[in-house]
Each structure stands twice: as C-alpha cells, then as structure tokens.
Structure 1
Amino acid sequence: MQVGFVLSLIFAIIIAVFAIKNGNEVNIDFIVTTKQVSQAIVILVSTALGAIIVTILGLVRQVKLTMKIREQKSIIEKLRNNNMDKELEDNVGLTNDVVMDSEKADKGDKKNIEKDSYNENEKINN
C-alpha cells in the first residue's frame, strides 16, 4: 500500500512539472462555446478526472469482490453446518452401535457368569 502511495506521489509530481512547463494558453472547444484556458489547467484537470474515474472503477470492483466473498462465506458456512449435521448423525449411529455392542457384551457376560456359577455348583455337588 505504501509503495503505491509513493508511486502515486511521484506520478503527481511529474504531471505537475509537466503542466507548469506547458503553461501556454490554449483554446478549448466545447460544443456550444470556445474558451481560452491555460494548458497547465487542462493537464491537471484531465489527470484529476482520470484519477477519479480509476478510483470509482476500482471501488466498483472492490464492492463486487466483497459481495462475492460474502456469498462464498455463506456457502462455506452452510456446507460446514451440513457436514456437522452429517457427522453428528454418523456419530449418533456409531454411538448407538457401541451401546448395542456393549449391551450384547453385558448380556454375554451375564451368561458367562451364570455358566461359571453353574459349573462351580456342579463341581461342588460332585
């Protein structure tokens, strides 16, 4: 940003020196009238109008880019939310599978415990 500012100042100084060197009177022909004006004023006004036009076009471009970035951020946020919802559903599914597996394991442990206690009772009785 600072480099651009310095270059703009250098360019402005060059234009100013050029305008001062060319300070002769010139006729400017408007559609309905003719005016005699210093060539330096014509150069400076033309340069200023050019800078204003470039600035306006740059601002329009910047606004369009900002709107596009905002739109893309919105799309990204929607995709993240959808992805989180899907991950949540997947995790809930996995959690349900784990709970079901642990319940089956608990039932299996109970059966094993019952078998072990039955086998011990058999040994004692024999």
Structure 2
Amino acid sequence: MQLILVAAFVFALIVAIFAIQNAITVQVVLFTWQFETSLVVVIFGAAILGALSVGLFGLMQYIKLKLKLRKKEQKINKLEGELAELSPAEDDNKERGLIEEEESVENKAIEIKSEVRDEKEQENHY
C-alpha cells in the first residue's frame, strides 16, 4: 500500500513539473464549448478527473466486496446455528454410545468373573 502511495506521489510530482514547464495558453474545444485557458489547468483537470474515476471504480469494487462479505458472514452464522442445533443431538448420541459401551464392558466383566469362578470351582473339585 505504501509503495502505491509513493508511486502516486512521484507520478503527481512529474505531472506538476510537466504542467509548470508548459504553462502556455491553449484553446480547449469540447463539443460546442470553446475556451482558452492555461495548459496547467488542462493537465491538472485531466489528472484530477482520472484520479476521481479510478477512485470511483475502487469504491465500487470495495462496496461489491463488502456486500459479498456480508452475505458470506450471514451464511456462516446460519450454518453455525444449524451446527449448534445438531451438536446437542450428537452429544446425546455420544452419551448413549458411552453408556451402551460401559454396559457392554460391565457385562463382559461379569462374564469373565463368572468364568474365573467356574474355573476355580473346577480346580477345587479335583
């Protein structure tokens, strides 16, 4: 950004030097209008109109990008809301899965204990 500003300043300085060195009176004709003025005024006027047109184009691009960003942020907020609605359901499913897994582990532990008890009883029988 600073490089662009420096380049613009250098360009403006060159235009100013050119305009001052060519400070003669010229006749300007635009459609049906005709008048005489200094070449400095014509050069500066053209430079200012060019800067304004570039600035207007940049402003239009900025507004366009801002609107696009706003739409994307609204979409993100909508999707985050949907995600928040789905998250509790996922948490419930995870809790159910953990409870079922815990019950399964408890059942296996009971089975193993009973097998160990049966083996001990068989050993005691012999």
Q: What do residues 52-82 of structure 1 show as CA deviations (whole Å, max 9, x unaligned)?
A: 1100110110011011111112212222222
Bigger shift: residues 20-29 or 46-55: 20-29
Counting aligned pairs with the same residue, the percent is 26
| Number of the residue aligned with 1:119 | none
Counterpart check, 1:70 vs 2:79: no
TM superposition score normalised by structure 1: 0.74
- Aligned-pair distance for 1:38? 0.9
| Separation (CA, whole Å) in 2 of partners of 1:77 and 1:48 | 43
Match for residue 122 of structure 2?
none
4+ residue segments displaced more than 4 Å: 100-110
Distance 2:9 2:54 in 1: 16
Distance, in Å, in 2 between the alignment partners of 1:20 and 1:105 is 92
Kindly state the Cα deviation for residue 87 of structure 1 after the two structures are TM-superposed.
Answer: 3.0
Tell me the amino acid that sits aligned with residue 61 of structure 2. R
Comparing 93-102 and 13-22, the one that deviates more: 93-102
Structure 1 gaps, min length 5: 111-115, 117-126
Equivalent pairs counted in the alignment come to 119
Give me the whole-angstrom Cα distance separating, in 1, the residues matched to 2:32 and 2:102. Answer: 95
Q: Deviation at 1:30? A: 3.0
In structure 2, the residue matched to 1:54 is 54
In the alignment, structure 1 residue 28 sits paired with structure 2 residue 28 = yes
Shift of 1:108: 9.2
- Of 19-28 and 72-81, more deviation after overlay is shown by 72-81
- CA offsets per residue over residues 16-53 of structure 1, 9 Å max, x none? 01111221211111333310111111011000011011
SS of 1:23's equivalent?
coil
Q: What is the identity, as a one-letter code, of the residue corresponding to 2:11?
A: F
The normalised TM-score by structure 2 is: 0.74
Question: How far is 1:9 from its partner?
Answer: 0.9
- Which ranges in structure 2 are unaligned for 5 or more consecutive residues? 111-116, 118-126
